[in-house]
Amino acid sequence: MVPVLLILLPLITGLVSFFMKGENGGKAWALASSILTLLVALGGIFLYNQPAHLTYDTSWLTSVGSRFSVGMDGMGKMLCLLTAVSFPIIFLATSKNNYKDSGSFYALMLLTQAGLTGVFVATDCLLFYFFWELALIPVYFLCSKWGGEKRIAVTFKFFIYTFIGSLLMLVGILYLYFQTPAHSFAIKDFYALQLSSEQQNCIFWLMFIAFAIKMPIFPFHTWQPDAYEQSPTATTMVLSGIMVKMGIFAVVRWLVPIFPEATKYYSHFIVVLSVIGMIYASLIAIKQDDIKRLIAYSSIAHIGLMAAAIFAGNAIGLKGVMVQMFNHGINVIGLWIVANAIEQQLGTRKFSELGGLAQKAPTLAILLVIMAFANIALPLTNAFVGEFLMFNGLFQFNVYVTAVAGISIILGAVYTLNMVQKIFYGNTVIATENAKEISGNVQLALVVLTVMIIVLGVYPQPLINLTNDTVKAIISVH
Amino acid sequence: MNAIILSALLGVVMMFSGIVIKSKHAIVSTALVCLVILLLGNLCDTYGCFSISMDLHEMLAFNKFGQFFNTIAITATLLYVLLSGKDIVKVGNYPAEYFALIFFVLCGVSILSAFNNLLMMFLGIEILSIPLYILTGSDKKNLKSNEASLKYFLMGAFSTGLMLMGIALLYGATGSFGIEAPVARQLSNGVQQRAPILEVIGLIFVFVSLLFKVSAAPFHFWTPDVYDGAPSVFTSFMATIVKAAGFIAFIHLFEGRADEMESIWKMLLVLTIVATLLIGNVTAVFQQSVKRMLAYSSIAQAGFMLFALYSRNDMAKEGILLYAVAYSIATVGIFAILIKMKDYTFDGYNGLAKTQPLLAAANTVFLLSLAGIPLTAGFFAKYWMLASVMKAGGSSAIWLIVIAVIFAAVSVYYYFRVIQAMYFKEGNAETTEEISQGFKIGLLIMSAIIIILGVFPDALLQWFYF
């Protein structure tokens, strides 16, 4: 029942929110809803976590052979937790942002949450596809309506990109469906498939392209920086904090176990693509003059490492991916919160127009520095654990690739520290002269994130234990 | 049988009602009552409580599938009159006749869903087409409407000629007008004898003429001009109910006959499907007028419906029913809103979400359905088509599906342009008149049907199998 609640709560509160009028309509409602969801998630994952509570199955599309069946394994729990934790923080941190027609804005945000949670818990492939799209469509409306100047064209590109991906995935799903002996979409029937290598090599790509676009992996990434830049920041946080995890998640859940041979066969190719993406994105990030674009490119680099570690195909790398999925979500949301706080207060995101902010807003500076350290995976921050495990896995896969990928760590330090320096140090400029300290809400959100960053950096074992069962299951079929 | 007889009779009733009833409003109400009678009559037939029957010498054969399709067509017409009835009577001075013609079209539809003989098919197509030629030209003082009507008539007559020629050849080859392939073609050693070339050519002629009727490429050239020129209310009717009926006839005939054409069939069909998808989708992208865009999109949707001919299995039949419902309802809704707009270009929709939030929301649901986005009926319509092709298998199946989904992604481009205009662009979209409450309720019902079918398509299909 827990997964169903996690989907239904945001879905229903979201639909209600459409009817909330007024300037701040839906704001408090959405926050309350997301906190309630968080409580359910915490309760479900840590207290009532017997299998009977975590799965639910009922008939839905009898004539298609699809059932409404959801369940949580370790990875599902972890990502549901990430989703449930992120939304209240996002709502809290952006509570000073004003939106025209805000009832609809929060409604769409909550619908996105329902879609995302659904993706992470679906154990029926068609249901998974439904949620995959349900997560996308509200985001399309969010970005197109409340985004920046170029929002319509940029969001459309993003939508078409991902929509082509999803349709190709649908073809793949259909093919697999007709291969199952009992004609069903259930995950266990998909896992039981014994496909020939020819079949695997062909269908693998149909599914992989969808996931690669979502992550995004080089060369499917071109929609991403523009979309992150033009989206309203609250949506960008969802996009980069949680939605990109959909791609990673889907590879681990729906690709590797179904196409073990093809995964092995193409692993070198994909690892090389990912590493190219890491270096390429890091180099571009160095040249950026806009906080949002810098974080976007840095995100591509981090995702590239996760993709490479999955296809390295060993347990330690996969453990790293699991940990990092959660940690990257938190860290990148922290960075966006800082970016949003700066933009809201000073009206600019350009480094060339910023400087000396540390004198005016020391708390913000301290918190950003911690986020920045986490972004470059300094030891004692949470990201270090994940990156260390992933590099370890990659090292076992191929030494040379690891060496090249390692350059991105240095490049990451270059662009992140450069950002910190340009925004916070030096002399104050016109924009930052009258800057004030950040508001209590934002501070609270950032402090929560900081605590999580440090606790998970010092004691990551619970997170690793949580996802152990998934890692074992995936590696056993590999 | 009920549907055929009732629709013909009610058509006559409607024709003469114009003499008695002078108020335009009352005529719409009469038409609605007649449609409800027709619907009930057809339902009685389906569930076997009352049906007119006579000896038809096997010219017509009634089955569940056909009757179910009649129900869909009549219900769609009912919704169409409910929404656009007021606009139909505005087209000209003799409103009762338009409704009479619509009933005659429905008569043609019910013959097409039941024919068991090539001549009946021909009759059905003609009964369906001739009222449409008149409806297209019903805006008598508009030059474009006249041009469209003439064009439609000439093209239609040409394709009818082809069809007759094909039927004649088939008769020559087999000595029968039956739609089933001749049985006595088994040789003594059990090997199937090949169909004579005369029969294959006959089938190709009929195939081509039917492609004309459903506006599949490369026989689609009449479609944009006719759809654009005809009064918008009638375009809506033509593009939905009539088109779906064409497909029913198509499937009914070629279900049993396609195998006689052997490899030629697959080749012709695949080429047609790909060409239709390509031309429909790509041309729609470049349109500036929403009405013309819808004309091309209807060609593109025809491409998807043609998949039912490729697979020819149970799933395809279910799929075509779902498609008929999803596509008809969505298109009727979009046209009903289009008719209310002052400006038919994409820019004419700018800011509609602000001036008419409900219209914009309903239009969005319809457009999402046409684009095949999940949680709308359109998704399952497309899904069923693709799944039926996958089920039918064959080496080209998966590539055909991949091509189809790529074009489905292209279609998102032009459908979403309308959504973008309504929601994200600044403007002051104007409607020609005050939008009535009844109209809004009608739109709400139709959006609800689309969404319910998008979540529980079984609701419709179980009814079919009840």
Distance CA A38, CA B361 (A): 31
A389 pLDDT higher than 80 = yes
B135 pLDDT higher than 80 = yes
- pLDDT, tens digit (0-9, with 9 covering 90-100), for B314-331: 888 888 989 999 999 999
- pLDDT, tens digit (0-9, with 9 covering 90-100), for A72-121: 888 888 999 999 999 999 988 888 778 888 888 899 999 999 999 999 99
pLDDT of residue B31: 92
Q: The tokens of A178 are what?
A: 């007709």
pLDDT of residue B286: 92
- pLDDT, tens digit (0-9, with 9 covering 90-100), for A420-429: 888 888 777 7
Domain for residue B270, yes or no?
yes
- Of the listed ranges B17-21, B391-395, B429-433, the one predicted with least confidence: B391-395
CA A338 vs CA A35, A233, A244, A345, A371: distances in Å: 22, 10, 20, 11, 9
- pLDDT, tens digit (0-9, with 9 covering 90-100), for B356-411: 889 999 999 999 999 988 889 999 999 999 999 988 877 678 888 999 999 999 99
For residue B453, give the chain A residue with the closest CA.
Answer: A61
B457 pLDDT higher than 70 = yes
pLDDT of residue A315: 87
- A315-346 vs A362-375: helix axis angle to the nearest 10? 150
pLDDT of residue A92: 87
pLDDT of residue B124: 92
Q: Is B357 on the interface with A (CB under 8 A)?
A: no
CB contact under 8 A, B420 and A156: yes
Distance CA B104, CA B213 (A): 17
pLDDT of residue B296: 92
Would you list which residues of chain A are within 8 Å, Cβ to Cβ, of chain B?
A: 61-64, 129-130, 133-134, 137, 141, 144-145, 151-152, 156, 159-160, 163-164, 167-168, 170-171, 174-175, 177-178, 202, 206
Distance CA A102, CA A117 (A): 23
B466 pLDDT higher than 70 = no
Domain for residue B398, yes or no?
yes
A414 pLDDT higher than 80 = yes
For residue B392, give the chain A residue with the closest CA.
Answer: A178
Q: Looking at residue B194, what DSSP letter applies?
A: P
* B461 neighbourhood in chain A, CB within 8 Å: 63
Number of other CB atoms surrounding residue B73 within 10 Å: 29
Whether B342 and B277 have beta carbons less than 8 Å apart is answered as no
Domain for residue B306, yes or no?
yes
Residue type, A185: F
CB contact under 8 A, A171 and B462: no
> CB-based burial of residue B426 (10 Å sphere; 0-12 exposed, 13-18 middle, 19+ buried)?
exposed
* B258 vs A275: which has the higher pLDDT: A275
pLDDT of residue B327: 92
pLDDT tier for residue A271 given thresholds of 50, 70 and 90:
very high
For residue A137, give the chain B residue with the closest CA.
Answer: B373
Distance of CA A378 to the CA centre of its chain: 21
A224 pLDDT higher than 90 = no
pLDDT of residue B211: 92
CB contact under 8 A, A171 and B383: no
pLDDT of residue A87: 92
Distance CA B160, CA B125 (A): 8
Distance of CA B158 to the CA centre of its chain: 20
For residues A386-412, average pLDDT: 90
Percent of chain A at pLDDT > 90 equals: 21
Percent of chain A at pLDDT > 70 equals: 99
pLDDT tier for residue B312 given thresholds of 50, 70 and 90:
confident
Please state the domain count of chain B.
1
- Please name the residue that has the structure tokens 């992550």: A215
pLDDT of residue B65: 87
B186 pLDDT higher than 60 = no
Mean pLDDT of chain A: 87
Q: The tokens of B74 are what?
A: 């009549």
Helix (H, G, I), strand (E, B) or coil at B114: coil
pLDDT of residue B183: 66
Q: What ipTM describes this predicted complex?
A: 0.89
Whether B91 and B135 have beta carbons less than 8 Å apart is answered as no
Going by their DSSP bridges, the two strands A66-71 and A55-61 should be labelled as antiparallel
pLDDT tier for residue B192 given thresholds of 50, 70 and 90:
low
Distance CA A449, CA A332 (A): 10
pLDDT tier for residue B444 given thresholds of 50, 70 and 90:
very high
- pLDDT, tens digit (0-9, with 9 covering 90-100), for B71-101: 999 999 999 999 888 888 888 888 889 999 9
**Among candidate residues B453, B412, B144, B289, the one with its CA nearest the CA of residue A156:** B412
CB pairs under 8 A between A and B: 73
The 3 state secondary structure assigned to B392-444 is HCCCCHHHHHHHHHHHHHHHHHHHHHHHHHHHCCCCCCCECCCCCHHHHHHHH
A67 pLDDT higher than 80 = yes
CB contact under 8 A, A167 and B408: yes
CB nearest to B405's CB, from A144, A145, A170: A170
CA atoms B17, B18, B22, B24: torsion sign:
positive
pLDDT of residue B184: 58
A463 pLDDT higher than 80 = yes
pLDDT of residue A201: 87
For residues A445-462, average pLDDT: 89
- Of the listed ranges A127-136, A467-476, B384-393, the one predicted with least confidence: A467-476
Helix (H, G, I), strand (E, B) or coil at A66: strand
- pLDDT, tens digit (0-9, with 9 covering 90-100), for A1-42: 888 988 999 999 989 888 887 777 778 888 889 999 999 988
For residues A324-350, average pLDDT: 87
Distance of CA A407 to the CA centre of its chain: 24
pLDDT tier for residue B190 given thresholds of 50, 70 and 90:
low
Domain for residue B342, yes or no?
yes
A430 pLDDT higher than 80 = no
A167 pLDDT higher than 80 = yes
Domain for residue B322, yes or no?
yes
Domain for residue B114, yes or no?
no
What is the least distance, in Å, from the CA of A357 to any CA of chain B? 35
CB nearest to B405's CB, from A151, A171, A202: A171
CB contact under 8 A, A63 and B408: no
Q: The tokens of B1 are what?
A: 């049988």
Q: Which domain holds residue B275?
A: 263-466
Distance CA B12, CA A437 (A): 81
pLDDT of residue B9: 93
A162 pLDDT higher than 60 = yes
Q: Torsion-angle region of residue A355: left (phi > 0), alpha (psi -120 to 50) or beta?
A: left
Domain for residue B10, yes or no?
no
- pLDDT, tens digit (0-9, with 9 covering 90-100), for B59-68: 888 888 888 8
A122 pLDDT higher than 60 = yes
pLDDT of residue B110: 92
What is the least distance, in Å, from the CA of B315 to any CA of chain A? 10
- Please name the residue that has the structure tokens 């609270």: A444
CB contact under 8 A, A62 and B458: yes
A198-205 contacts, C-beta under 8 A, 24 or more apart: A200/A259, A200/A260, A200/A261, A200/A262, A200/A265, A201/A261, A201/A262, A201/A265, A201/A266, A202/B398, A203/A172, A203/A175, A203/A176, A203/A259, A203/A262, A204/A255, A204/A259, A204/A262, A204/A263, A204/A266
B185 pLDDT higher than 70 = no
Q: Looking at residue B349, what DSSP letter applies?
A: G
Those of residues 380-439 in B touching chain A at CB distance below 8 A are 383, 386-387, 390-391, 393, 398, 401-402, 405-406, 408-409, 412-413, 416, 420, 423-425
Q: The tokens of A129 are what?
A: 């596809």
pLDDT of residue B189: 63
Task: Count Cα neighbours of A440 within 13 Å in the Cβ-side half-sphere.
Answer: 0
A60 pLDDT higher than 90 = no
For residues B117-122, average pLDDT: 91
pLDDT tier for residue B188 given thresholds of 50, 70 and 90:
low
Helix (H, G, I), strand (E, B) or coil at A314: coil
- pLDDT, tens digit (0-9, with 9 covering 90-100), for B209-262: 999 988 888 888 899 999 989 998 999 998 888 888 889 998 888 887 877 777
Domain for residue B433, yes or no?
yes
DSSP codes of every residue in A173-188: HHHHHHHSTT---BHH
**Among candidate residues A326, A328, A330, A334, the one with its CA nearest the CA of residue A462:** A326
